Amino acid sequence: MSGQLIINGIVNASLIAPPAIAFSLLFGILRFPNFAIGAYVTVGAFIAYALNVGAGMPMWIAGLGAMAGTAVVVWLSDVLVFKPMRGHTPVTLLVVSIALALIIEHIIRLFYGADVRGFDLPLERPIKFAGLRITGEQIDIIVMTIVIGIAIHLLLQYTRIGKAMRATADNETLAEVRGINTSYVIAFTWFICGALFGLTGVFAGLDLVIEPLVGWYLTIPIFAAAILGGIGSPYGAMLGALLVGLAEELTVLVLPSSYKIGVGFVIIAVLLLIRPHGLLGQPEIKK
């Protein structure tokens, strides 16, 4: 059983890694945990659903549409809600993000209700090897996540905009002084993250079920992964996702599964107690 659980854990990880990277990048510029990420993911799932089932488009076009559409929604949430409130305390912004999550979730509910939905794709039977099972779709998701991880890495390390993003995350004022157009960089970051949330919505729609709370279910594992990896560190977020994904699966070996939902929290708590800045995060230097 434990072999299968490890595969399960890797699949979990590849679902939460992209949004954990996005959450981490956003945290770099926002400095508060944005609780609306779950709602962004839900938006992605519903846009993909509308394109795939509503408009009859193939899944890959629906997926790209969901990424683009969610990027716009996420960017708008900054323009309309967060940007005018920059400079408020992290906790105020956190509460605002919860309010925003409620608003988005219920706008979706207003139009779609609470029914369960799925994409127009047949469910797949697994490929079996050595008593272990994985589906082609899951392999696709894992591969895409790895590609995304590498792409984000390349973006941050080698492109002008990526370097500007890192500089802005490190110290916005200093970046501004050095001639970086930080408001452009911030908008770009929101777009990239929005696209990642949109993609996660597609993955979540494939893996779970499309309904107004689907993104919310992922929120705590995403937080756990990002915090575990060290907030602000995209590579850490990937590592964090892997550990959270595995931990949630392996829990059943030692605890009744009815406690599984608490595992993410326990990981966060224990890790923060040992390494308050995460596995790969830099300790914050108090001024």
Partner 1 sequence: MSAYLISMATFVGFFMILALALNLQWGMTGMVNFGIAGFYALGAYTSGLLSVKLGWPVGITIAMSCVTGLIAGGLVALLSMRLREDYLAIVTLGFGEIVRLIALNEDQITEGPRGLKIDARPFADMFDRETYPLVYLALVAAAVAVVFVIVECIRRSPMGRTLRAIREDDVVAEVLGKNVLRHRVQVFALGGAFMGLAGALYAHYVQNISPEVFMPMVAIFIWMSVIVGGAGNNWGLLLGAGVVMTILEGSRFLGDFIDFLDAEQLSAIRIIVIGVLLIAILRVRPRGLIPEPKFSFAASSTEQGRQPSTENAK
Partner 2 sequence: MNRKITRRSALITGGAIAAAGVFAPSIARAADPINVGSLTPNTGGGGPFGPKITSAHKRVVDLVNSEGGVLGTTINLFQENSETNPETAVRAADKLINVNKVVGILGTWSSSVTLGIMPKCQEAGVIQMCTSSSADIPVRDEKGYVFNFQALSPVWGRAIARLALRRGFKTFNLMALNNDFTRSMMDGFTEIVGKDKLLQDSFYYNGGQSSYRSEVTQLIEKNPEAVFIPSYVTDFTSVYKEIFRQGYEGQVITVSISTGEKFKEAIGDAANGIIHGLPVPPIKSPAYAEYVTETGLEPTDGVQHPFGTAGRDQMSVLLLAIEKAGSAEADKVSKAIWDVTTGDGKETVYNVTDGLKAIRAGKEINYSGASSSVEFDKEGMVLGRDFQLAEIKDGKDVVIERLEF
- Give the H/E segment covering residue 227: helix 214-229
Cβ burial of 275 (10 Å; 0-12, 13-18, 19+) is: middle
Q: How far apart are CA 128 and CA 135, in angstroms?
A: 9
Q: Is 284 in the site for partner 1 (CB under 8 A)?
A: yes
Question: Is residue 266 a contact point for partner 2 (CB under 8 A)?
Answer: no
The alpha carbon torsion through 268, 269, 273, 274 (nearest 10 deg) reads -40
Distance between CA atoms of residues 180 and 168, nearest Å: 8
Q: Tokens 């990420």, residue?
A: 37
Contacts of partner 1 in 29-88 (CB under 8 A): 32-33, 81, 84-85, 87-88
Asked whether position 52 contacts partner 2 by CB under 8 A, the answer is: no
Q: Where are the beta strands (DSSP E) in the chain?
A: 127-129, 132-134
Cβ-based nearer residue to partner 2, 175 or 247: 247
β-sheet bridge partners, residue 43 = none
- Site mask for partner 2 (CB under 8 A), range 163-192, x = bound: ------------------------------
> 97 to 126, contacts with partner 2 by CB under 8 A?
109, 113-118, 120-126
# of chain residues touching partner 2 (CB under 8 A): 48
DSSP string, 126-189: PEEETTEEE-HHHHHHHHHHHHHHHHHHHHHHHSHHHHHHHHHHH-HHHHHHTT--HHHHHHHH
User: Is residue 210 a contact point for partner 1 (CB under 8 A)?
Assistant: no
Binding site for partner 2 (CB under 8 A): 1, 4-5, 8, 11-12, 15-16, 109, 113-118, 120-126, 128, 133, 135, 137-138, 207-211, 213, 216-218, 220-221, 248-252, 256-258, 260-261
What residues make contact with partner 1 under the rule CB under 8 A?
32-33, 81, 84-85, 87-92, 94-96, 98-100, 102-103, 105-107, 109-110, 113-114, 223, 227, 256, 258-259, 261-262, 264-266, 268-269, 272-273, 276, 284, 286-287
